[in-house]
């Protein structure tokens, strides 16, 4: 049997009968009554607890603001009570550890709420420094539901203290936290970050904890913590369902499943801990010495919500990479995250498992843009990321921002690169792509590829990075230029997989550069490489032929249970051609005006493509697209159509504008731009939908919108306006409580002397209100904002 | 507990979207239905409530003469929270106890909305309306269950009254969340600007009375949307 270490039970439950009321901050209550706290700690120690949690769950700067006490004072007093209990226990020869308890800050992290990772980091650091100084032995995060927030805490702990770090999150009965983090995603992330013990607390009872523990053991070999509630509370009385004996009996199963740090949460008290200890002692006498069988840890990467295990073909989406893509490069330079986020959404919907993120292009602050893109992409997709850069600073910045466990793409076999990157890979616990090249140029054959891969594996092992977390890239060389290299690449893949126990990745499309029928060559090469053991193909998942090859290969390689997935997708695809009419045929029956008003994006883009053969881009914009939009705008104003119809029309027009933009960029001309406009939802407001509607419509009229997003501080708006010299600014606020932030923004713009026109909109605003807060225009809806913009840029 | 709702009422969703009988394509109608199902599929309705005795209701000063004067500090004092304002005092008048509640559709709906705001505004707008309607339906179902169980004990329940209605300030959201421990219990938090996050969430108070209560339709004066109601801007009412 495992040696179990006993933790304590609830603290809040113990304080309520002593005079604290619901809604009070327990840390403030406790600091005024240290003798009560010490007694509770002693009761737990007497019951058998050997790790006691300090009464600091809510002792953070946000929750203490306005209390008149500093974090340091509150933390010191509460930790002090636990430390004196520890000293008293030591007098009787009992060795107790004091765990600095840290709960969630109270606001949800971005993109749900306003909590920024940097702010979370600072708040946690303050508690950690005070707690360590006051004598804590362990840093203990608990009741976390947001993995992003917990990550900030763990980084703060690792970078500001040498104490061990333990962490538990709260899972609902289905095995997900309120924010959707799964047990697997928590396990993969915390194990990668080097947390010393991890597990679960609160929310449900020990029955569910047994299943959570079993799942977690697949992803970590570190000690597992179980601190469940005493069953579920009665909705009317609030009393928990399990008594101490029943709790202890069910905990026996959780411990048998592999939890080695056991205690209780809501509804438990010292009697529960005593029953737990007694039940284990009882069992220990009779039970034979059985050790739960050690499981091999499953290598995997994850986002906050989704795990992707390294046990089969995993598609890496390649489209977020500006090399050779003018439109994306422009978007990155402009900070146009919507374009990038859409690339992520499209790839996820097309079936990618992992997204490669590369933002390298001339004139860009790569570390800063990498952070921005990683956050933006993670706000709209569930996929794990592969951070792709040749700049170690950009890689670190991407890893730091990335929630979950990522892949680093890439290190090569040169000593400098290995020395620069492996410590970063290790620090963030990432998986890593190793390129089979070094300073001396490209490898000439399979032997050289294997030798370089072996060097990477050896160096990585010195940092404790295992071969199953390494993905070797044997380099796809252009077949037209180096025809003898393709088979060397394939042989390299086969050998590194077999001889080194690593995974293999290849960028596929480079193979066909300069040749006709590229898709055929790419598909054939992909099939050959998958046959050789390639398991991380880097492709465009929106390419149907490539995805077909992967689906077929999975079926043939036994990765598709009885080929059922293949059969299903094929039968769906075969039905399609009869039911869907192609956009080209539609182009004959519609005009741009009718296709826009009916909201048919494919038809609009086909029509625009056709017109481009004869007409200039600007002419199409001015004589077709804008008049079509004007017409639906008027219909909307007169009540002939309602808002969803206006937006579907705008969306269809947008497809036309995309064609125009591509065409202009491909000719090396500058974009259609009728003028720059900044849009932002003001600080404190997270209701973004109104502003987003305005953005879509303004963009369709050819205005260049710099969308700063939601919850935007006044300072940021002013800085951007000055830096980019933008003279028209649109602000949105939905709530009466956030209009003051709008007023403040306008005030700051005026005070800083930036000459500009401000238009405002949002549910609570009126003409009068807008005037009162100093705005130049009140725009009641999206079409009104277009009129202001047209007038302004006339 | 409240059964799972497969889809919000389309007629009500259309009302939120400002629909006034315009000609609508079959694709749009189908899209609205599909959005409703998708939102309902992502929703994880969670509710927490406490049954609290009402200690004091101060609405009016003792009458000196014919006209009643408003109290200096009107409001309803529940055992764990003071709810300020004359309107909540009026709502709970004659009640001995109150139900303080909070509910949310959860973070998955939030995520779905955020994603669609990027990829397709039209869908995002429709989904937003679907989510607004969906939580109303869940709350109605929850309220009905509560009302039925009260009826068994010959107790009567008033309608829901939320921060932002009348003069009950939305600044009270944080305190309600703290009393109900909503972050831990249902994953609901309150921002520094008093917004509920996830956005599709509601807090409310219902009174419990020994005598039958009249369940009147809330007038505009007591509606949290009074200031920004698109119906009122067009001189119409939402319940017409």
What mean pLDDT do residues A215-241 have? 91
Domain that holds residue B225: 10-233
- The structure's pTM equals 0.91
DSSP A484: T
Length of chain B: 240
CATH number assigned to the domain comprising residue A722: 3.40.50.280
Q: Using 50, 70 and 90 to split pLDDT, how confident is the model at A3?
A: confident
* Shared domain check, A177 and A46: yes
The pLDDT of residue A588: 66
The pLDDT of residue A293: 57
Cα–Cα distance measured from residue A157 to residue A130, given in angstroms and rounded to the nearest whole number = 12
DSSP A551-563: HHHHHHTT-SGGG
The pLDDT of residue A582: 47
Q: Is the pLDDT assigned to residue B226 strictly greater than 80?
A: no
Q: Using 50, 70 and 90 to split pLDDT, how confident is the model at A180?
A: very high
Q: Is A111's Cβ below 8 Å from some Cβ in B?
A: yes
The closest alpha carbon to A695, from A648, A727, A650, belongs to A650
- The answer to whether the Cβ–Cβ distance between B183 and A104 falls below 8 Å is yes
Q: Is the pLDDT assigned to residue B64 strictly greater than 60?
A: no
H helix runs in A162-298, sequence order: 183-192, 206-216, 244-256, 270-286
C-alpha distance from residue B225 to each of A692, A735, B162, B230, B233 (Å)? 21, 10, 11, 9, 11
Q: Which of B80, B106, B114 sits opposite A111 (nearest CB)?
A: B114
Q: Angle at Cα A521 formed by Cα A515 and Cα A527, nearest 5°?
A: 160
Q: Which of residues 441-480 of A touch B (CB under 8 A)?
A: none
Q: Which of A244-248, A550-554, B229-233 has the lowest mean pLDDT?
A: B229-233
Give pLDDT tens digits for A655-683: 898 888 888 877 777 667 889 999 999 99
Q: Is the pLDDT assigned to residue A578 strictly greater than 50?
A: no
Find the closest chain A residue to B170 by CA distance: A737
DSSP A336: -
Q: Which of A177, A599, A643 sits opposite B17 (nearest CB)?
A: A643
**Does residue B4 form part of some domain?**
no
CB–CB of A186/A225 below 8 Å?
A: no
**Does residue A775 form part of some domain?**
yes
- The answer to whether the Cβ–Cβ distance between B189 and A108 falls below 8 Å is yes
Measured between beta carbons, which residues in chain B are less than 8 angstroms from residue A236? 51
Measured between beta carbons, which residues in chain B are less than 8 angstroms from residue A235? 49
* Shared domain check, A617 and A683: no
CATH number assigned to the domain comprising residue A355: 3.40.50
Cα–Cα distance measured from residue A593 to residue A141, given in angstroms and rounded to the nearest whole number = 58
Q: Is the pLDDT assigned to residue A503 strictly greater than 90?
A: yes
Give pLDDT tens digits for A721-745: 999 999 999 999 987 888 899 999 9
What mean pLDDT do residues A532-544 have? 97
**Does residue A61 form part of some domain?**
yes
Give pLDDT tens digits for A448-473: 999 999 999 999 999 999 999 999 99
In this structure, the dihedral spanned by the alpha carbons of residues A561, A564, A569 and A572, taken in order and rounded to 10 degrees, is: -170
* Shared domain check, A64 and A74: yes
Domain that holds residue A643: 583-666
Cα–Cα distance measured from residue B236 to residue B240, given in angstroms and rounded to the nearest whole number = 8
CATH number assigned to the domain comprising residue B223: 3.40.109.40
Cα–Cα distance measured from residue A23 to residue A144, given in angstroms and rounded to the nearest whole number = 19
More confident residue, A46 or A1: A46
Residue finishing a domain among A177, A195, A220 = A220
CATH number assigned to the domain comprising residue A123: 3.20.20.330
Cα–Cα distance measured from residue A203 to residue A314, given in angstroms and rounded to the nearest whole number = 34
Percent of chain A whose pLDDT exceeds 70: 96
**Does residue B155 form part of some domain?**
yes
CB–CB of A657/A699 below 8 Å?
A: yes
Q: Is A440's Cβ below 8 Å from some Cβ in B?
A: no
CB–CB of A367/A393 below 8 Å?
A: yes
- Identify the residue among B13, B47, B122 best suited for mutation to test binding to A, counting A beta carbons within 10 A and taking the highest: B122
Give pLDDT tens digits for A281-312: 988 766 655 555 566 788 999 999 999 999 99
**Does residue A251 form part of some domain?**
no
Q: A441-466 burial, b for 16+ CB within 10 Å, e for fewer?
A: eebeebebbbebbbbbbebbeeeebe
Q: Cα distance from A684 to chain B (closest Cα, Å)?
A: 6
Q: Using 50, 70 and 90 to split pLDDT, how confident is the model at A156?
A: very high
- The answer to whether the Cβ–Cβ distance between A689 and B227 falls below 8 Å is no
Sequence-separated (6 or more) residues with CB below 8 Å from residue A761: A690, A691, A694, A730, A731, A732, A778, A779, A780, A781, A784, A785
Q: Is the pLDDT assigned to residue A147 strictly greater than 50?
A: yes
The closest alpha carbon to B163, from B102, B107, B106, belongs to B102
Measured between beta carbons, which residues in chain A are less than 8 angstroms from residue B122? 599, 644, 647-648, 650-651
Cα–Cα distance measured from residue B202 to residue B196, given in angstroms and rounded to the nearest whole number = 8
- The answer to whether the Cβ–Cβ distance between A685 and B179 falls below 8 Å is no
Q: Using 50, 70 and 90 to split pLDDT, how confident is the model at B229?
A: low
The closest alpha carbon to B114, from B199, B189, B47, belongs to B199
Q: Cα distance from B163 to chain A (closest Cα, Å)?
A: 13
Find the closest chain A residue to B179 by CA distance: A23
The pLDDT of residue B222: 65
* Shared domain check, A719 and A758: yes
Find the closest chain B residue to A734 by CA distance: B228
* Shared domain check, A167 and A49: yes
Q: Using 50, 70 and 90 to split pLDDT, how confident is the model at A239?
A: confident
Give pLDDT tens digits for A603-644: 999 999 999 999 988 889 888 998 998 999 899 888 899 999
For residue A308, what are the β-bridge partners?
A: A301
**Does residue A768 form part of some domain?**
yes
The closest alpha carbon to A480, from A452, A503, A510, belongs to A510
Q: Which of residues 372-431 of A touch B (CB under 8 A)?
A: 379-381
Q: Using 50, 70 and 90 to split pLDDT, how confident is the model at A235?
A: confident
**Does residue A184 form part of some domain?**
yes
According to DSSP, the β-strands at B97-104 and B46-60 are antiparallel
In the β-sheet with A728-732, what is the strand arrangement from edge to edge? Answer: A704-707, A676-681, A728-732, A757-761, A777-778
The pLDDT of residue A286: 64
* Shared domain check, A412 and A398: no
Give pLDDT tens digits for B69-110: 666 789 999 999 999 999 999 999 999 999 999 999 999 999
C-alpha distance from residue A727 to each of A52, A249, A545, A677, A722 (Å)? 59, 69, 47, 7, 9
For residue B33, what are the β-bridge partners?
A: none
DSSP A624: I
Give pLDDT tens digits for B183-196: 999 999 999 889 99
- The answer to whether the Cβ–Cβ distance between B179 and A22 falls below 8 Å is yes
* Shared domain check, A162 and A29: yes
CB–CB of A497/A504 below 8 Å?
A: yes
Q: Cα distance from A716 to chain B (closest Cα, Å)?
A: 19
Q: Which of A112, A645, A692 sits opposite B107 (nearest CB)?
A: A112
The pLDDT of residue A549: 96
What mean pLDDT do residues B203-220 have? 83
Q: Is the pLDDT assigned to residue A694 strictly greater than 60?
A: yes
Handedness of CA A681, A685, A688, A693 (dihedral sign): negative
How many domains does one find in chain B?
Answer: 1
The pLDDT of residue A522: 97
Q: Which of residues 598-637 of A touch B (CB under 8 A)?
A: 598-599
Q: Cα distance from B226 to chain A (closest Cα, Å)?
A: 9
Residue finishing a domain among A220, A243, A276 = A220
- CB neighbours (10 Å) of residue A230? 26
Give pLDDT tens digits for A543-562: 999 999 999 999 999 998 88
Q: Which of residues 322-361 of A touch B (CB under 8 A)?
A: 338, 341-342, 345
Q: Which of B22, B24, B183 sits opposite A106 (nearest CB)?
A: B183
More confident residue, B19 or A673: B19
Give pLDDT tens digits for A366-378: 999 999 999 999 9
SS3 of A452, please? helix
**Residue whose entry in the numeric block shows the structure tokens 């709350």:** B139
**Residue whose entry in the numeric block shows the structure tokens 């990498």:** A370
C-alpha distance from residue A408 to each of A53, A390, A508 (Å)? 37, 10, 18
Measured between beta carbons, which residues in chain B are less than 8 angstroms from residue A641? 22
Q: Which of residues 12-71 of B touch A (CB under 8 A)?
A: 17-20, 22, 24-25, 27-28, 32, 49-51
Give pLDDT tens digits for A56-101: 999 999 999 999 999 999 999 999 999 999 999 999 999 999 999 9
Q: A389-421 burial, b for 16+ CB within 10 Å, e for fewer?
A: beebebbbbbbbbbbbbbbbbbbbbbeebbeeb
SS3 of A96, please? coil
Task: Specify the DSSP element, H or E, that contains A88.
Answer: helix A71-91
Q: Which of residues 132-161 of B touch A (CB under 8 A)?
A: none
Cα–Cα distance measured from residue A360 to residue A409, given in angstroms and rounded to the nearest whole number = 13
Q: In the predicted model, what is the mean pLDDT of chain B?
A: 88
* Shared domain check, A127 and A80: yes
Q: Cα distance from B102 to chain A (closest Cα, Å)?
A: 13
Cα–Cα distance measured from residue A657 to residue A286, given in angstroms and rounded to the nearest whole number = 76
**Does residue A239 form part of some domain?**
no
Cα–Cα distance measured from residue A127 to residue A88, given in angstroms and rounded to the nearest whole number = 25
Q: Which of residues 140-159 of A touch B (CB under 8 A)?
A: 143, 145
Handedness of CA A11, B82, B143, B137 (dihedral sign): negative
Cα–Cα distance measured from residue B137 to residue A114, given in angstroms and rounded to the nearest whole number = 28
The pLDDT of residue A525: 98
- The answer to whether the Cβ–Cβ distance between B227 and A111 falls below 8 Å is no
Q: Which of residues 693-712 of A touch B (CB under 8 A)?
A: 693, 696
In the β-sheet with B46-60, what is the strand arrangement from edge to edge? Answer: B82-84, B70-78, B46-60, B97-104, B201-209, B156-157
Measured between beta carbons, which residues in chain B are less than 8 angstroms from residue A106? 183, 189
The pLDDT of residue A466: 95
**Residue whose entry in the numeric block shows the structure tokens 């009885």:** A562
Measured between beta carbons, which residues in chain B are less than 8 angstroms from residue A178? 106-107, 186-187
CB–CB of A685/A710 below 8 Å?
A: yes
C-alpha distance from residue A541 to each of A380, A399, A535 (Å)? 17, 24, 15
**Does residue A459 form part of some domain?**
yes
Q: Is the pLDDT assigned to residue B238 strictly greater than 90?
A: no
**Does residue B1 form part of some domain?**
no
Measured between beta carbons, which residues in chain B are less than 8 angstroms from residue A764? 227-228
* Shared domain check, A650 and A691: no
H helix runs in A482-562, sequence order: 485-495, 518-532, 544-556
Cα–Cα distance measured from residue A338 to residue A706, given in angstroms and rounded to the nearest whole number = 10
CATH number assigned to the domain comprising residue A505: 3.20.20.20
SS3 of A302, please? strand
Residue finishing a domain among A195, A220, A245 = A220
More confident residue, A669 or A238: A238
The pLDDT of residue A583: 47
Structure tokens at B79: 């055992």
Q: Which of A145-154, A252-261, A300-309, A774-783 has the lowest mean pLDDT?
A: A774-783
The pLDDT of residue B230: 63
Cα–Cα distance measured from residue A459 to residue A455, given in angstroms and rounded to the nearest whole number = 6
Q: Is A736's Cβ below 8 Å from some Cβ in B?
A: yes
Q: Is the pLDDT assigned to residue A1 strictly greater than 50?
A: no
* Shared domain check, A513 and A487: yes
- CB neighbours (10 Å) of residue B38? 18
**Does residue A236 form part of some domain?**
no
CB–CB of A101/A130 below 8 Å?
A: no
Q: Which of residues 96-135 of B touch A (CB under 8 A)?
A: 106-108, 110-111, 113-115, 117-122, 124-126, 128
Q: Using 50, 70 and 90 to split pLDDT, how confident is the model at A581?
A: very low
Among A10-14, A320-324, A764-768, B25-29, which range has the highest average pLDDT?
Answer: A320-324
Cis peptide before A770 (omega within 30 of 0): no
Phi, psi of A499 (to 5 degrees): -90, -30
Find the closest chain B residue to A202 by CA distance: B184
Cis peptide before A31 (omega within 30 of 0): no
Q: Using 50, 70 and 90 to split pLDDT, how confident is the model at A579?
A: very low
The closest alpha carbon to A334, from A705, A693, A703, belongs to A705
What mean pLDDT do residues A226-250 have? 91
Q: Using 50, 70 and 90 to split pLDDT, how confident is the model at A131?
A: very high
**Does residue B240 form part of some domain?**
no
Give pLDDT tens digits for A330-354: 899 988 899 999 999 999 999 999 9
Cα–Cα distance measured from residue A359 to residue A365, given in angstroms and rounded to the nearest whole number = 9
Q: In the predicted model, what is the mean pLDDT of chain A?
A: 92
In this structure, the dihedral spanned by the alpha carbons of residues A215, A217, A223 and A227, taken in order and rounded to 10 degrees, is: 10
Phi, psi of A371 (to 5 degrees): -60, -45
**Does residue B82 form part of some domain?**
yes
Q: Is the pLDDT assigned to residue A407 strictly greater than 90?
A: yes
């Amino acid at each position: 049997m495992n040696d179990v270490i006993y933790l304590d039970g609830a603290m809040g439950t113990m304080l309520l009968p002593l005079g604290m009321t619901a809604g009070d901050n327990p840390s403030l209550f406790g600091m005024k009554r240290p003798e009560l706290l010490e007694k509770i700690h002693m009761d737990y120690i007497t019951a058998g607890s050997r790790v006691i949690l300090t009464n600091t769950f809510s002792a953070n700067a946000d929750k203490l603001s306005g209390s008149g006490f500093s974090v340091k004072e509150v933390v010191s007093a509460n930790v002090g009570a636990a430390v004196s209990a520890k000293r008293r226990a030591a007098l009787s020869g009992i060795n107790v550890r004091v765990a600095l308890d840290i709960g969630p800050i109270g606001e949800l992290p971005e993109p749900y709420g306003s909590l920024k990772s940097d702010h979370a980091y600072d708040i946690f650091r303050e508690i950690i420094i005070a707690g360590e100084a006051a004598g804590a032995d362990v840093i203990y995060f608990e009741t976390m539901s947001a993995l992003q927030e917990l990550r900030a805490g763990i980084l703060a702990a690792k970078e500001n203290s040498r104490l061990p770090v333990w962490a538990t999150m709260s899972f609902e009965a289905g095995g997900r936290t309120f924010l959707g983090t799964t047990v697997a995603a928590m396990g993969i992330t915390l194990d990668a970050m080097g947390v010393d013990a991890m597990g679960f607390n609160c929310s449900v009872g020990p029955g569910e904890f047994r299943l959570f523990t079993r799942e977690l053991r697949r992803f970590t070999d570190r000690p597992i913590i179980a601190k469940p509630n005493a069953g579920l509370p009665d909705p009317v009385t609030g009393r928990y369902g399990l008594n101490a004996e029943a709790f202890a009996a069910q905990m026996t199963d959780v411990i048998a499943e592999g939890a080695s740090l056991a205690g209780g949460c809501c509804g438990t008290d010292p009697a529960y801990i005593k029953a737990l200890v007694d039940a284990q002692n009882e069992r220990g006498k009779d039970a034979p010495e059985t050790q739960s069988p050690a499981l091999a840890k499953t290598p995997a990467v994850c986002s906050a919500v989704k795990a992707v295990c390294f046990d089969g073909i995993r598609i890496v989406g390649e489209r977020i990479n500006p090399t050779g893509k003018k439109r994306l490069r422009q978007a990155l330079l402009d900070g146009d995250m919507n374009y990038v986020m859409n690339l992520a959404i499209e790839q996820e919907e097309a079936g990618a498992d992992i997204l490669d993120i590369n933002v390298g292009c001339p004139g860009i602050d790569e570390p800063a843009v990498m952070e921005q893109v990683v956050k933006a992409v993670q706000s709209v997709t569930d996929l794990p990321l592969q951070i792709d850069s040749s700049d170690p600073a950009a890689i670190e910045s991407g890893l730091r921002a990335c929630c979950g466990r990522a892949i680093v793409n890439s290190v090569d076999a040169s000593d400098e690169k290995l020395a620069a990157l492996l410590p970063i890979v290790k620090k963030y616990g990432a998986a890593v792509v190793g390129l089979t090249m070094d300073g001396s140029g490209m490898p000439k054959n399979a032997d050289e590829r294997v030798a370089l891969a072996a060097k990477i594996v050896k160096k990585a092992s010195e940092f404790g990075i295992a071969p199953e977390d390494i993905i070797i890239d044997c380099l796809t060389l252009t077949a037209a230029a180096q025809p003898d290299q393709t088979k060397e690449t394939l042989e390299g893949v086969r050998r590194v997989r077999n001889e080194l126990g690593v995974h293999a990745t290849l960028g596929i499309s480079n193979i066909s550069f300069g040749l006709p029928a590229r898709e055929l060559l790419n598909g054939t090469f992909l099939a050959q490489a998958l046959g050789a053991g390639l398991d991380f193909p880097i492709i465009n998942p929106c390419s149907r032929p490539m995805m077909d090859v992967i689906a077929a290969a999975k079926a043939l390689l036994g990765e598709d249970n009885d080929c059922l997935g293949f059969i299903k997708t094929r039968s769906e695809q075969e039905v399609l051609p009869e039911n869907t009419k192609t956009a080209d045929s539609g182009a004959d029956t519609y005009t741009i005006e009718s296709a826009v008003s009916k909201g048919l994006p494919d038809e609009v883009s086909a029509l625009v493509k056709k017109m481009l053969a004869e007409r200039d881009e600007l002419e199409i914009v001015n004589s077709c697209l804008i008049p079509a939009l004007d017409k639906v705008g008027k219909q909307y104003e007169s009540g002939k159509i309602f808002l969803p119809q206006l937006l579907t029309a705008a969306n269809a027009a947008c497809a036309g504008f995309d064609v125009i933009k591509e065409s202009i960029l491909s000719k090396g001309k500058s974009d259609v731009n009728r003028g720059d406009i900044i849009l932002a939802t003001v600080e404190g407001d997270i209701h973004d939908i109104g502003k987003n509607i305005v953005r879509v419509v303004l963009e369709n009229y050819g205005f260049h919108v710099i969308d700063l997003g939601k919850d935007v501080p006044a300072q940021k708006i002013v800085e951007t306006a000055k830096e980019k010299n933008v003279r028209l600014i649109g602000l949105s606020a939905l709530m009466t409580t956030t209009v003051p932030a709008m007023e403040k923004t306008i005030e700051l713009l005026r005070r800083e002397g930036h000459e500009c026109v401000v238009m405002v909109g949002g549910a609570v605003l009126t003409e009068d209100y807008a005037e009162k807060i100093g705005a130049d225009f009140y725009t009641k809806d999206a079409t009104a904002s277009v009129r202001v913009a047209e007038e302004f840029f006339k | 507990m409240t059964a799972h709702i497969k889809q919000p009422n389309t007629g009500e969703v259309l009302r939120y979207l400002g629909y006034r009988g315009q000609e609508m394509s079959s694709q749009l109608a189908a899209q609205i239905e599909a959005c409703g199902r998708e939102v309902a599929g992502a929703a994880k309705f969670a509710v927490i409530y406490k049954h609290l005795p009402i200690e004091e209701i101060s609405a009016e000063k003792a009458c000196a003469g014919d006209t009643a004067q408003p109290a200096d500090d009107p409001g309803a004092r529940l055992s764990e929270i003071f709810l300020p304002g004359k309107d909540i005092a009026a709502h709970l008048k004659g009640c001995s106890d109150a139900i303080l509640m909070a509910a949310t559709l959860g973070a998955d709906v939030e995520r779905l909305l955020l994603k669609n705001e990027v990829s397709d505004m039209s869908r995002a707008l429709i989904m937003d309306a679907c989510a607004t309607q969906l939580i109303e339906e869940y709350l109605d179902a929850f309220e009905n269950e509560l009302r039925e169980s009260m009826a068994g004990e010959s107790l009567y329940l008033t309608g829901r009254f939320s921060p932002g209605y009348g003069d009950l300030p939305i600044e009270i959201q944080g305190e309600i969340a703290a009393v109900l421990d909503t972050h831990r219990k249902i994953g609901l938090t309150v921002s520094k600007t008093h917004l509920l996050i996830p956005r599709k969430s509601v807090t409310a108070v219902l009174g419990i009375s020994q005598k039958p209560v009249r369940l009147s339709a809330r007038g505009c004066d007591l509606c949290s949307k009074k200031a920004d109601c698109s119906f009122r801007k067009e001189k119409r009412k939402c319940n017409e």
